[in-house]
Amino acid sequence: MEAGQRRKSGINLPAGMSQTTLRLNAISTPKRPTSNLAASSPSKSSSSCSDRFIPCRSSSRLHTFGLIDKSSPVKEGGNEVYSRLLRQELFGSDFGSFSSPAGNQGSPMSPSTNMMRFKTDPCTPNSPSIFGYDTSLTSDVSTPPKPPRKVPKTPHKILDAPSLQDDFYLNLVDWSSQNVLAVGLGTCVYLWTASNSKVTKLCDLGPNDGVCSLQWTREGSYISIGTSLGQVQVWDGTQCKRVRTMGGHQTRTGVLAWSSRILSSGSRDRNILQHDMRVPSDYIGKLTGHKSEVCGLKWSTDDRELASGGNDNQLLIWNQHSKQPVLKLTEHTAAVKAIAWSPHQSGLVASGGGTADRHIRFWNTTNGNQLNSVDTGSQVCNLAWSKNVNEIVSTHGYSQNQIMVWKYPSLAKVATLTGHSMRVLYLAMSPDGQTIVTGAGDETLRFWSVFPSVKTPTPVKDTGLWSLGRTQIR
């Protein structure tokens, strides 16, 4: 058929296709009456066209589905026979034999080896959806993200702490479950009762000794003190009376950790001693594994595992009965002082490295795998895991001296707090889990409202920390 004849037919036919190709025999239906349209047809022959509509696909956007990618080869492992059969079923038996008009390589009727492969239409990036709304809108529009929790950027209380040492390896601040804050200042230990801001001098070790570490028992009645001479003293915090003195270390005791019944102490002599108040001996066990000073020590919440960090850049995991560590984790490249066990997931511990490392790393102690890590940009001095929400707070030294709050496990940053002018070496958390106190070599203690209350509120004592002001601790 000539081109002019094709235009007169009113149907846009591809090259090589005649009008007779589209002429179909009418289907005989003896039991059904002939339609009015058929009766009014001028032709009575059996070869007349039926009322079946043959669409013209020249205006369709079949290129969106990769139907015209004639130059693309069949992918390795593809089934050409299946593709040909699928095209014939969709577009008729003659589809594969149609040829494109000269100079029109992009004809939508061209056979394709990339059948039904969806592609984005570059011509209409902002075209409306067939469902009547803009497809660029995501499902987040219907459920807007929860706004980030607001954390106050300034401390709500500041205490002066004269002689608070600027020493990375010491642990001089702890907050008891009975709401009493203990602080080691030089040779003395002071107790600050949060409910009434009363300050009590617990002890003075004398001119030849000094306070290197503090740790309350979980019940909050007794406090242990590690000294420069390597002793471990236990005091009754309510009566300000020394209960016991235990030896065993050759030099300063920089870190202490209580389980339900065992007091562990770490020293510059590289040893960890296990003390039991129920027996008369100074210690009941010695753990050796670190090659340098032990500066981090924490029992897991279920008392099954003890994590220790040292100036040898190692994080060691011990169980209740081991004489040797069950795990040696050596990915840190600086001293490991900051350690925190998750109260939400068993066997999950976080550790922080010093100036040359700057990373917080998260470990599964069941298999020793590192689950995640984050570069904080500064020396990691302390870690504490919130018991109210699955978040962790870190304090930092060189070079930004900041306090950071992270979500877990996403490690999204919740807040960054600044205010200390020197390394934030000390960290403790209030009994209700909402307030943290930080200490630094700038000789101040700062109280921050960081975490929300528990989802099921329980009566708690008034912390007495809500008035602004600056008080000297002695």
What is the per-residue pLDDT for 104?
Answer: 43
Q: How far is CA 322 from CA 167, 203, 302, in A?
A: 31, 35, 16
Q: Quick one: 330 and 413 in the same domain? A: yes
Tokens found for residue 452: 């929300």
Of 265, 288, 311, which one is at a domain's C-terminal end? 288
Residue 467 near residue 159 (C-beta atoms within 8 A): no
Higher pLDDT, 131 or 251: 251
Each residue of 204-226: pLDDT tens digit?
Answer: 999 999 999 999 999 999 999 99
Antiparallel, parallel or unpaired: β 470-472 and 157-160: parallel
Q: Quick one: 268 and 326 in the same domain? A: no
Longest Cα–Cα distance in the chain:
125
CB under 8 Å to 428, separation ≥6 — which residues?
173, 174, 175, 181, 384, 436, 437
Mean pLDDT of the chain: 80
What is the per-residue pLDDT for 355?
Answer: 95
Tokens found for residue 329: 């984790």
pTM of the model: 0.68
Each residue of 316-366: pLDDT tens digit?
Answer: 999 988 889 999 999 999 999 999 999 999 999 999 999 999 999 999 999
Q: Taking Cα atoms as reference points, which of 375, 377, 468, 392 lies closest to residue 436?
A: 392
What is the per-residue pLDDT for 87?
Answer: 76
Tally Cβ neighbours within 10 Å of residue 309: 29
Beta bridge pairs of residue 386:
none
H/E stretch holding 19: helix 19-22
Question: What value does the mean pLDDT take over residues 248-277?
Answer: 96
Tokens found for residue 330: 């050596």
Each residue of 132-159: pLDDT tens digit?
Answer: 444 444 444 456 666 778 899 999 999 9
Q: What is the dihedral of CA 87, 11, 23, 2, to 10 degrees?
A: -100
The answer as to whether 421 is a domain residue is: yes
Look at 3-17, 111-125, 255-269 and tell me which has the smallest mean pLDDT: 111-125
Number of structural domains, the chain?
2
The answer as to whether 236 is a domain residue is: yes
Residue 68 near residue 58 (C-beta atoms within 8 A): no
Owner of token pair 């969709």: 90
Backbone angles phi, psi at 330, to 5 degrees: -120, 20
Q: Quick one: 178 and 280 in the same domain? A: yes
Antiparallel, parallel or unpaired: β 285-288 and 294-299: unpaired
Q: Quick one: 266 and 335 in the same domain? A: no
Tokens found for residue 471: 């008080």
Q: Quick one: 277 and 331 in the same domain? A: no
Q: Quick one: 330 and 431 in the same domain? A: yes
Residue 211 near residue 205 (C-beta atoms within 8 A): yes
What's the CA angle centered on 41, arms 6 and 28, to 5 degrees? 100
Question: What value does the mean pLDDT take over residues 75-82?
Answer: 61
What is the per-residue pLDDT for 307?
Answer: 98
The answer as to whether 203 is a domain residue is: yes
Q: Quick one: 182 and 249 in the same domain? A: yes
Model confidence at 61, pLDDT cuts 50, 70, 90, reads low
Report the length, in residues, of the chain: 474
Residue 232 near residue 256 (C-beta atoms within 8 A): yes
Distance CA 149, CA 386 (A): 15
pLDDT surpasses 60 at 179: yes
The answer as to whether 300 is a domain residue is: no
Owner of token pair 């010093």: 354
Three-state SS string over 418-456 comes to CCCCCCEEEEEECCCCCEEEEEECCCEEEEEECCCCCCC
Q: Quick one: 213 and 284 in the same domain? A: yes
The answer as to whether 140 is a domain residue is: no
Of 288, 310, 332, which one is at a domain's C-terminal end? 288
Q: Quick one: 342 and 239 in the same domain? A: no
Backbone angles phi, psi at 4, to 5 degrees: -65, -35
Q: Quick one: 341 and 268 in the same domain? A: no
- Alpha carbon distance, N-terminus to C-terminus of the chain: 108
pLDDT surpasses 90 at 100: no
CATH number of the domain at 426, please. Answer: 2.130.10.10
Asked if omega into 409 is within 30° of 0 (cis), the reply is yes
The answer as to whether 17 is a domain residue is: no
Each residue of 279-312: pLDDT tens digit?
Answer: 999 999 999 999 999 999 999 999 999 999 999 9
Tally Cβ neighbours within 10 Å of residue 234: 17
Query: What domain range includes position 193?
Result: 164-288
The answer as to whether 76 is a domain residue is: no
Q: Quick one: 232 and 350 in the same domain? A: no
Q: Quick one: 248 and 326 in the same domain? A: no
The answer as to whether 267 is a domain residue is: yes
